[in-house]
């Protein structure tokens, strides 16, 4: 899985891990921060939340356009520093007045623009590593590994946010509203780590920091020439994919909005028995390590490697057994903690996904990237089918709010969300890394930055449409809310299958 990959992949992935850790630490509590600190309604908070996500994913188009002019490496560096200024602004507790609101909006703009310069261009650099014929056939696997690294940062983020807020309240005496700012401080620190990794390992990937034109002028790379017809064909195929994936992100990123509201309002805030094990981040880390250990033991590595993995697997198994017999009888859980499950599943399931598709590839039966994306939409629909079924008979959010005051509220088991995130993650693994790989492969060389930016524009539109969930959150039965996302995902999947031939032709 990790063998025969260029060193630059791991350096860029680790730099991205640091940045994503900070971003998801902030995002884990952001929607709740808006409601707690500024007293906003669910609808008002969803407008700001969705608008921010839209900017974060729209501005890579601008960042890609700039990078196609001045180079990808320069944009990545500038982007980190701009993001740092934004997180600094968020980390300062200014209360809940209009001035604080203004500074917060400025912070969101800085973070969005910095991300626009950083995120897409870093991924273009990853793709450029695989323009080398020596590595070309490992592109899909590389983006799966890169995506896994992103989620390692995201996996720890909710726990970091919850723990540092609790520490600020209990040890430093800060009130709940001010403690949110400590979570935002974590993002500042993570960016320092990210830029340190980037420059320490820069010699491994410096050759892919420039645009195709810059590389050709320096004599480092040939320019792939496409006819106008070929260029148009590829751009049309990419735009069709962008149209489909925006609906996936509309559904998927409910994890930070309506699924978090659901966790806060409808999930039993206390778990008991063995279920408490799932809410300890170190148990999740141990499970993920065990998965990799099993692949190492039964893979095609050397005897020495198998022995090392065997020792690692034995150690984490012993740890998990110890945890099982010493888990607490009950544990209070906070709503943001549920956001750790999606990145955990990505990290743990990536080798499984790669093994399945690797086996299919050897038989000549591996689905194309567009077909994987279509399957991902179907799987996402299945996740919301589960939510809809489990929400039948529950009160509406408005009724639940009154019922909680009177003590008559009805709660569901935490497993509802745990399993929903599992299914959503299967869909994500089929769609997101494969989509990024598809863009890096199909994008005309002269427009790589903009086309990667186009992927994020589609994500931006999908993220802005996330607010539809907030609009529905109130007097509408929950099973209807989730059914909206079932319908959206299925319609997008049907459209994807209808245009499949055109998409697959563009990859040839």
pLDDT reported for residue 111:
95
- Domain membership flag for residue 219: no
457 and 471 inside one domain: yes
- When the pLDDT of each residue in the chain is averaged and rounded to a whole number, the result is 88
How much is the average pLDDT of 63-90?
91
Distances (CA, A) of 3 to 135, 258, 299, 308, 356: 11, 40, 12, 16, 17
275 and 295 inside one domain: no
Which residues are 332's β-sheet partners?
Answer: 270
Distance of CA 7 to the CA centre of its chain: 23
Q: Tens digit of pLDDT for each residue in 209-268?
A: 877 566 555 555 555 567 788 888 888 888 888 888 889 989 988 987 899 899 999 999
407 and 470 inside one domain: yes
| pLDDT at residue 296 tops 80 | yes
Q: Tens digit of pLDDT for each residue in 464-477?
A: 888 889 889 989 99
How much is the average pLDDT of 333-356?
88
- Domain membership flag for residue 448: yes
Instruction: Give the residue with greater pLDDT, 54 vs 412.
Output: 412
Residue 149 — very low, low, confident or very high, per pLDDT cuts 50/70/90? confident
Q: Among 323, 357, 386, which residue terminates a domain?
A: 323
Q: Tens digit of pLDDT for each residue in 15-35?
A: 999 898 989 888 888 888 898
CATH of the domain at 107: 1.20.1250.20
Residue 106 — very low, low, confident or very high, per pLDDT cuts 50/70/90? very high
pLDDT reported for residue 503:
80
54 and 188 inside one domain: yes
Domain count within the chain: 2
pTM of the entire predicted model: 0.79
- Domain membership flag for residue 457: yes
**Under 8 Å between Cβ of 248 and 379:** no
pLDDT reported for residue 364:
86
pLDDT reported for residue 50:
81
167: part of which helix (H) or strand (E)?
A: helix 139-170
How much is the average pLDDT of 162-187?
87
How much is the average pLDDT of 394-405?
92
- Domain membership flag for residue 405: yes
| pLDDT at residue 84 tops 90 | yes
pLDDT reported for residue 1:
61
pLDDT reported for residue 225:
66
Q: Among 296, 323, 350, which residue terminates a domain?
A: 323
Pairwise CA distance, residues 454 & 211, whole Å: 17
pLDDT reported for residue 221:
53
257 and 378 inside one domain: yes
113 and 243 inside one domain: yes
3-state secondary structure 52-71: HHHHHHHCHHHHHHHHHHHC
**Closest C-alpha to 255, from 483, 503, 40, 30:** 30
286 and 346 inside one domain: no
First to last CA, the chain: 25
Instruction: Give the residue with greater pLDDT, 218 vs 149.
Output: 149
Q: Among 323, 349, 382, which residue terminates a domain?
A: 323
Residue 508 — very low, low, confident or very high, per pLDDT cuts 50/70/90? low
Do strands 330-332 and 270-272 pair parallel, antiparallel, or not at all (unpaired)?
Answer: antiparallel
33 and 115 inside one domain: yes
319 and 449 inside one domain: no
pLDDT reported for residue 224:
58
Pairwise CA distance, residues 462 & 465, whole Å: 5
Pairwise CA distance, residues 197 & 221, whole Å: 26
Instruction: Give the residue with greater pLDDT, 447 vs 18.
Output: 18
pLDDT reported for residue 214:
61
Side-chain half-sphere exposure of 138, counting CA atoms within 13 A? 18
**Closest C-alpha to 376, from 444, 436, 289, 417:** 436
- Domain membership flag for residue 2: no
148 and 14 inside one domain: yes
Pairwise CA distance, residues 239 & 457, whole Å: 10
**Under 8 Å between Cβ of 139 and 354:** no
- Domain membership flag for residue 218: no
240 and 377 inside one domain: yes
357 and 480 inside one domain: yes
Domain that holds residue 363: 7-200+208-213+226-280+327-506
- Domain membership flag for residue 392: yes
- Domain membership flag for residue 221: no
């Amino acid at each position: 899985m990790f063998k025969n990959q260029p060193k630059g992949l791991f350096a860029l992935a680790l730099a991205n891990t640091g940045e994503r850790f900070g971003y998801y630490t902030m995002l884990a509590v952001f929607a709740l921060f808006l409601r707690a600190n500024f007293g906003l309604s669910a609808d008002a908070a969803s407008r700001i939340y969705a608008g921010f996500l839209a900017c974060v994913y729209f501005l890579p188009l601008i960042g890609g356009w700039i990078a196609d002019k001045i180079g990808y490496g320069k944009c990545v560096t500038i982007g980190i520093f701009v993001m740092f200024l934004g997180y600094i602004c968020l980390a300062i507790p200014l209360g809940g007045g209009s001035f604080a609101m203004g500074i917060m909006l400025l912070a969101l703009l800085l973070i969005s623009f910095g991300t626009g310069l950083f995120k897409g261009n870093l991924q273009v650099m990853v793709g450029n590593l695989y323009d080398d014929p020596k590595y070309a056939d490992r592109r899909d696997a590389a983006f799966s590994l890169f995506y896994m690294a992103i989620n390692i940062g995201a996996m720890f983020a909710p726990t970091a946010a919850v723990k540092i807020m609790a520490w600020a309240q209990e040890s430093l005496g800060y009130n709940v509203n001010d403690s949110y700012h400590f979570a935002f401080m974590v993002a500042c620190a993570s960016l320092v780590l990210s830029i340190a990794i980037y420059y320490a390992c820069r010699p491994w990937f410096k050759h892919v920091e420039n645009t195709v034109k810059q590389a050709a002028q320096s004599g480092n790379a040939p320019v792939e020439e496409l006819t106008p017809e070929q260029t148009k064909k590829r751009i049309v195929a990419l735009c069709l994919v962008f149209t489909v994936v925006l609906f996936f992100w509309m559904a998927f990123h409910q994890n930070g909005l309506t699924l978090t509201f659901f966790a806060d309002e409808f999930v039993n805030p206390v778990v008991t028995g063995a279920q408490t094990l799932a809410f300890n981040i170190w148990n999740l880390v141990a499970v993920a390590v065990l998965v990799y250990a099993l692949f190492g033991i039964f893979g095609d590595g050397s005897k020495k490697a198998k022995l090392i993995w065997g020792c690692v697997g034995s150690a984490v198994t012993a740890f998990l057994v110890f945890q099982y017999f010493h888990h607490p009888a009950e544990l209070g859980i906070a709503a943001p903690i549920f956001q750790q499950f999606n990145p955990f599943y990505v990290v743990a399931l990536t080798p499984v996904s790669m093994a399945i598709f690797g086996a299919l590839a050897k038989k000549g039966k591996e689905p194309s990237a567009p077909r994987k994306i279509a399957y991902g939409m179907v799987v996402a629909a299945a996740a919301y089918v589960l939510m809809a079924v489990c929400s039948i008979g529950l009160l509406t959010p408005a009724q639940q709010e009154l019922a909680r005051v009177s003590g008559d509220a009805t709660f569901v088991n935490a497993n509802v969300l745990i399993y929903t995130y599992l299914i959503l993650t299967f869909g994500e693994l089929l769609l997101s890394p494969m989509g990024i790989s598809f863009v890096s492969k199909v994008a005309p060389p002269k427009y790589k930055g903009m086309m990667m930016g186009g992927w994020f524009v589609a994500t931006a539109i999908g993220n802005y449409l996330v607010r539809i969930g907030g609009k529905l959150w109130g007097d509408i039965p929950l099973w209807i809310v989730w059914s909206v996302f079932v319908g959206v995902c299925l319609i997008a999947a049907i459209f994807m299958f209808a245009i499949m031939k055109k998409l697959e032709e563009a990859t040839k």
